[in-house]
Structure 1
Amino acid sequence: MQLNAGCELQFEAQGPTPLVLMLRPRSGAGQWIMREEYQITPSVNVTEFTDMYGNLCQRLVAPEGPFSIHFSATVQTADAIDVEPGAPYTPVEDLPDDVLHYTLPSRYCQSDQLGDLAAEITNAVEPGYDQAEAIRKWINENVKYQYGTSDASTSAVDTANARVGVCRDFTHLGISLCRALNIPARMVVGYLYQLKPMDLHAWFEAYIDGRWFTFDATQQQPRGNRITVAYGRDAADVAFTTQFGPMTLNDMKVWVDPAEIAEN
């Protein structure tokens, strides 16, 4: 499916403020970037680099006063995500070097503290894909989705105890429980078609049987039509905006709509 997706951010900077943005998706598995547009008002110099996870990042300095960022893209997306019940666990000794660090605890994903819960959730489940799916299903059924119940400091352990949160919290918990079983897991942020309410979204991927599979604990069934923007260990690696100074986000709009395809 071809989707038009994007976001508009309205800031007020109290002084010149360095920013790192992570708003541009790139073509890859399940998506092809057909068109994109980036508008920054007022115009400033922008440089771009690729971080250690392969994400496209933009550096700039926002001037004092109102500052806006508009990004939009037309993307060809996969209508479904791959599922493979029964896919076997990949032993740690067989993991690629660049996947191994996704088995370790990170800032928001204290997998070393969630081993008992992971074992309880996956009791009698075959190692591998079925464990990750059991974790996704357990979070979906046992953690309440509710805005305003967490903040930027909320961790996976906090969510496991409170049993409430938003997509970021669901994702951190899913990652942590997978890692507690030595299944590599990483955070993904981007867009999901027909997400309700519409917002920037987060889910997780688990490395099983030699490849990455998508799991979204906020959804009851596997859903495609996703646009990936960034990957990382947890939210600390995949912030859409990172500011280095006093700056207020006054408004944010996000949209994902079917693209109008011109007929020949």
Structure 2
Amino acid sequence: MRLSIDVMLDYTIDGEADVLLLIEAAKGADQRLELQDLRVYSPEPLRAVPGEDGIGQRCWARGKGAFRAEYKAVVEILRTPVDFSSLGDTPIRLMPPETIPYLLPSRYCESDRLEGFVTQEFGGLAAGPLATALTAWVAEHLTYASGASSGTTTALMTFAERRGVCRDYAHLLVALARAGGIPARCVSAYAPGVDPPDFHAVAELWIGGGWHLVDATRMASCGNLVRVAVGRDATDIAFMTVFGGATLNQQTVSVTPL
């Protein structure tokens, strides 16, 4: 699948502040950038830095008053769906060292508080079969509701409320997977058909010797997701972080199949 991506961010910065942008599609073996163009109206030169795990890149900018960023890209997605139920288990002690941070609790994914639930509800399952069951549980037990959560909502809060947006679905699935011994990380992404159109958040689970994208909202599949960045939770994958105050004027995200 080929996707056209068009993003516009229009903010007013209170005074002057550093801005960290994370909106560029990542290059990778499973997605190819045919073209991309990032334009940021900043009083100082931009500075690019690598994203978490070397996936994608962040961009430092300086905001002063009116701040606008525009991003356009065409991306070809090369990955194909995988049947999780056929993926085998890897003992934790034999997993690659880069998976270790994604086995541990983080600020918004309190996996240690969900271990009892996973053991009770999914005991006897591991790896692919467990990932399949956890994804289905989150999809079936949460209700997608815009405005139902905030930037401080954690996986445990979503588990109690049983509703949220894509960020909350991703946090809960990641926390449950980690509680079950599956390395899991959050992923910011672009996808067509997201309602309302916006930046999207999904999970990525390490099973069967590799990372696999999962969207528990069921709005997208691995075959039409464009990975932007990865991290422990939403803290690491925010599309824009302002080290100061800012007011949103307008923001649009359009993802169209070609």
Distance 1:29 1:219 in 2: 24
Q: 2:230: which partner in 1? A: 231
Q: 1:146: which partner in 2? A: 145
CA RMSD for the aligned pairs?
1.6
**1:133–1:215: 8 Å Cα contact kept in structure 2?**
no
Give the SS at the match of 2:86. Answer: coil
Q: 1:244: which partner in 2? A: 243
AA at the equivalent of 1:226: L
Q: 1:95: which partner in 2? A: 95
Q: 1:48: which partner in 2? A: 48
Q: 2:109: which partner in 1? A: 109
**1:86–1:128: 8 Å Cα contact kept in structure 2?**
no
Aligned length: 257
Q: 2:62: which partner in 1? A: 61
Return the TM-score normalized by structure 2.
0.94
Q: 2:195: which partner in 1? A: 196
**1:145–1:218: 8 Å Cα contact kept in structure 2?**
yes
- 1:115-194 paired onto structure 2 within 5 Å: 115-124=115-124, 126-194=125-193
Distance 2:131 2:222 in 1: 16
Task: Output one character per residue of 1:197-232: Cα deviation in whole Å (capped at 9) or x when no partner.
Answer: 221101111111211122111007845211100000
- The offset of 1:45, in angstroms, is 1.1
Give the SS at the match of 1:53. Answer: helix
Q: Summarize the Cα distance change of 1:243–1:205 in structure 2 as closer, same or farther, 3 Å threshold.
A: same
Deviation above 3 Å: which 4+ runs of structure 1? 220-223
**1:18–1:62: 8 Å Cα contact kept in structure 2?**
yes
Give the SS at the match of 1:10. Answer: strand
- The offset of 1:103, in angstroms, is 0.2
The gaps in structure 1 that reach 5 residues or longer are 260-264
**2:194–2:219: 8 Å Cα contact kept in structure 1?**
no
Distance 2:189 2:108 in 1: 19
Give the SS at the match of 1:28. Answer: coil
Q: Summarize the Cα distance change of 1:232–1:223 in structure 2 as closer, same or farther, 3 Å threshold.
A: closer
- The offset of 1:43, in angstroms, is 5.4
Q: Summarize the Cα distance change of 1:258–1:51 in structure 2 as closer, same or farther, 3 Å threshold.
A: closer
**2:109–2:172: 8 Å Cα contact kept in structure 1?**
yes
**1:46–1:59: 8 Å Cα contact kept in structure 2?**
yes
**2:51–2:229: 8 Å Cα contact kept in structure 1?**
no
AA at the equivalent of 2:158: T
| 1:81 is the counterpart of 2:81 | yes
Q: Summarize the Cα distance change of 1:220–1:131 in structure 2 as closer, same or farther, 3 Å threshold.
A: farther
The gaps in structure 2 that reach 5 residues or longer are none
Q: Summarize the Cα distance change of 1:26–1:79 in structure 2 as closer, same or farther, 3 Å threshold.
A: closer
Task: Output one character per residue of 1:110-166: Cα deviation in whole Å (capped at 9) or x when no partner.
Answer: 000001222234244x31111011111011111110011100100000000000100
AA at the equivalent of 2:58: C
Task: Output one character per residue of 1:161-194: Cα deviation in whole Å (capped at 9) or x when no partner.
Answer: 0001000000000000010111100011111122
Task: Output one character per residue of 1:84-132: Cα deviation in whole Å (capped at 9) or x when no partner.
Answer: 31311211111111111110000000000001222234244x3111101
Q: Summarize the Cα distance change of 1:147–1:139 in structure 2 as closer, same or farther, 3 Å threshold.
A: same
Q: Summarize the Cα distance change of 1:220–1:51 in structure 2 as closer, same or farther, 3 Å threshold.
A: closer
Q: 2:24: which partner in 1? A: 24
Distance 1:257 1:122 in 2: 38
Give the SS at the match of 1:15. Answer: strand
Return the TM-score normalized by structure 1.
0.92
